[in-house]
Amino acid sequence: MPVRRAPMPRLCATGALLAIATAAAHAADDHNLQFHGFASQGYFLTRNNALFTSESQDKGTFEFNEVALNAVATPVDRLRVGIQLFAQDFGDSFNNKPQIDWAYGDYSLPTYGVLDLGITAGRLKMGHGLYNDYRDLDVTRTSVFIPMAVYNPRLRDYFLAVNGLGVHGTVNADAFGSFDFMTYLGGQSSDPHEGTIHDIFFDRGLDLDRVHIEAVDGANVTWNTPLEGLRLKYSLFNLRGLDVAGTIQPGAIVPLIPGSAAQLNFNQLWDTIVSVEYQRGDLTLAAEAEYWYLKGLLHGDAGIPVTIPVYQIIHSAYLSAAWRLAPQWEVEGIWQWNEVDTVTAAKDKFYGFTAAVRFDPIEHWLIKAEYTWIHGTSLLRAAEQPHAGFDEVWGYFALKTTFDF
Amino acid sequence: MRTVPALLAALFACVAAAGADDAVIVNGRATTTALSEDELRAFFLGKRTTWEDGTKVVVVVLRGGGSHESLLQRLGKSPQQFITGWKKLVFTGKGSMPEQVNSEDELVALVARTPGAIGWIDAGKVADGVKALPLR
């Protein structure tokens, strides 16, 4: 079956590059065109289990780097256009394949009373949760990884960006603080042969050859409370009409004939995050709780045609506290928890503790390290392990340095 | 003699603008006549990127020094938090980094020649080509 690929990212890129080139011609001498980027290199070592590559266990891996380059311009009043190219390598994933991280135009409408409003189109960041938009940006946090319980790297593709339209703004509510909001509608393309969706189904015994997503929509609102430094956020993400098809593998978690074709139609896939962050002086406290819900029907061959209900529910949460000890030094502690309930009989879960330290020798260069101790296996993939089965207690160490300009 | 009330008014504006020692200044052609505390925060933290007339906001800040520290204190941000906030905007395409200069004279000169520019300086440094805005 032919692979369906949405042309939207390429259209976005072409459009954004044309816009940037046009803007550059008009704006190079007018503070209107900026280029920025960052590059990072890390080392990742796990104990007792492997994560993201079998090489992570015991000897560690340097396949842990990122590079990004962006350009933003204001070709005419109220209109901002920009694009960011991004590539990363993390174990067996991504392999430095360049991708368009975001590429969009954003038009700011005149302020209307207490309302500031903007309209944006292209490949957009969705603002899902406190930190999804900055998950690749080391400078925004102390730890190497944002808590994987809520920001699972395996679900990264879902929450990275959407190709479509967005409306965002701020409502100034005087004594009640202000409210920032974002709502979006669009689509996502997904490669059936690699990435998030491929891995999720492959681990459950379905080797995909087709993925189709009908639409993605969502919204989030942040209340910047009158208490200085305290903000609360609610985020909702909704993926509509996810249909996948592929071939059942031996050992699949459903009783279908290996080698037979199967199709899954999901009528519900949504994710919601409740967030709170409090920043006072050099202290930043954050907590988030996430609920992921996926439900659908599996059509396959068990000797006779069958239809099997499938679902996945994930509960996750974390608490974090970061403290800037000195202008160049920052430390952080994180507790996180995650529980995955799928069509399989047993629930999978983990909880863990992280200790992290960050050093900023100069404004544009940082070095950070963390150790995370984990009890539980819901982050792990059998396909990545150098041995059979999982150890319940394991951990990882990460060391990373990042430059930005 | 009509210049005397004008000078007094300008002096009053400088003092009232941001406190006893500092002033928020904008390009001399700006149509805005005053800022609220919320607007001040929105401009210097990159949440508002255009002026009422549609002109792009160009934030100009000092690399350090007393006036810059006073601005950060007003915004409730440490130097690290201020820069990190702007990098969040820059790396998600939601803003452009502030122009950073080394001296208040440079800051005034840059604001004076850049439409849409806004900066924060020692009130005594206000000069031709820029205007100090009172805070509502």
Q: Say whether residue A106 is in contact with chain B using an 8 A CB cutoff.
A: yes
**Structure tokens given for A338:** 């995650």
pLDDT digits (tens, 9 = 90+) for A96-132: 999 999 999 999 999 888 899 999 999 999 999 999 9
Cα A272 from Cα A314, distance rounded (Å): 11
Q: How far is CA A251 from the centre of its chain?
A: 29
Cα A163 from Cα A168, distance rounded (Å): 15
Put simply, the answer to whether A140 touches B84 (Cβ < 8 Å) is yes
Q: What's the pLDDT band for A30 if we cut at 50, 70, 90?
A: low
pLDDT digits (tens, 9 = 90+) for B15-70: 444 555 889 999 999 998 899 888 899 999 999 999 988 899 999 999 988 899 99
Residue A305, classified by CB atoms within 10 Å of its CB into exposed (0-12), middle (13-18) or buried (19+), is exposed
Q: CA B32 → CA A32, B10, B36, B39, distances in Å?
A: 21, 15, 11, 11
Q: Say whether residue B32 is in contact with chain A using an 8 A CB cutoff.
A: no
Put simply, the answer to whether A137 touches B87 (Cβ < 8 Å) is yes
CATH code of residue B32: 3.40.190.10
Residue A187, classified by CB atoms within 10 Å of its CB into exposed (0-12), middle (13-18) or buried (19+), is middle
Task: Choose the closest CB to A324 out of B78, B93, B96.
Answer: B78
Task: Choose the closest CB to A125 out of B80, B87, B92.
Answer: B92
Structural domain boundaries enclosing B36: 3-133
Contact between B120 and B18 under an 8 Å Cβ cutoff? The reply is yes
Q: Read off the amino acid at residue A9.
A: P
Higher-confidence position of A344 and A113: A113
Put simply, the answer to whether A133 touches B83 (Cβ < 8 Å) is no
Shortest CA distance to A284 belongs to which of B84, B63, B86?
Answer: B84
DSSP state of A382: G
Q: Say whether residue B136 is in contact with chain A using an 8 A CB cutoff.
A: no
- How many inter-chain contacts (A to B, CB under 8 Å) are there? 83
pLDDT digits (tens, 9 = 90+) for A220-274: 999 999 998 999 999 999 999 999 999 998 877 778 888 899 999 998 999 999 9
Q: What's the pLDDT band for A355 if we cut at 50, 70, 90?
A: very high
Cα A44 from Cα A35, distance rounded (Å): 30
Q: What's the pLDDT band for A154 if we cut at 50, 70, 90?
A: confident
CATH code of residue A218: 2.40.160.10
Shortest CA distance to A353 belongs to which of A379, A331, A374?
Answer: A374
Query: What's the confidence (pLDDT) of residue B9?
Result: 45
Q: Say whether residue A365 is in contact with chain B using an 8 A CB cutoff.
A: no
The residue of chain A with its CA nearest to that of B52 is: A110
Structural domain boundaries enclosing A382: 8-404
User: Hunting for tokens 């009172």 — which residue is that?
Assistant: B134
Q: Which residues of B touch A32 (CB under 8 A)?
A: 56
Put simply, the answer to whether B96 touches A34 (Cβ < 8 Å) is yes
Residue A107's H or E segment, with its range, is strand A99-108
Residue A6, classified by CB atoms within 10 Å of its CB into exposed (0-12), middle (13-18) or buried (19+), is middle
Percent of chain A with pLDDT over 70: 92
Shortest CA distance to A281 belongs to which of B73, B87, B83, B38?
Answer: B73
User: Hunting for tokens 């949504």 — which residue is that?
Assistant: A270
Task: Answer yes or no: is A2 within a domain.
Answer: no
**Structure tokens given for A231:** 């903000």
Helix (H, G, I), strand (E, B) or coil at B32: coil
Q: What is the pTM of this model?
A: 0.86
Q: Which residues of A touch B48 (CB under 8 A)?
A: 116, 170
Contact between B104 and B123 under an 8 Å Cβ cutoff? The reply is no
Helix, strand, coil % (nearest 5) of chain A?
A: 10, 60, 30
Task: Answer yes or no: is A1 within a domain.
Answer: no
Q: Say whether residue B58 is in contact with chain A using an 8 A CB cutoff.
A: yes
Helix (H, G, I), strand (E, B) or coil at A379: coil
Percent of chain A with pLDDT over 90: 66
Task: Choose the closest CB to B92 out of A38, A74, A102.
Answer: A102
Task: Answer yes or no: is A35 within a domain.
Answer: yes
Contact between B9 and B124 under an 8 Å Cβ cutoff? The reply is no
Shortest CA distance to A192 belongs to which of A168, A175, A212, A173?
Answer: A212
Q: Identify from A35, A38, A69, A108 which residue to disrupt to test chain B contact, counting B C-beta atoms within 10 A and taking the largest count.
A: A108
Q: Say whether residue B73 is in contact with chain A using an 8 A CB cutoff.
A: no
Total count of domains within chain A: 1
Total count of domains within chain B: 1
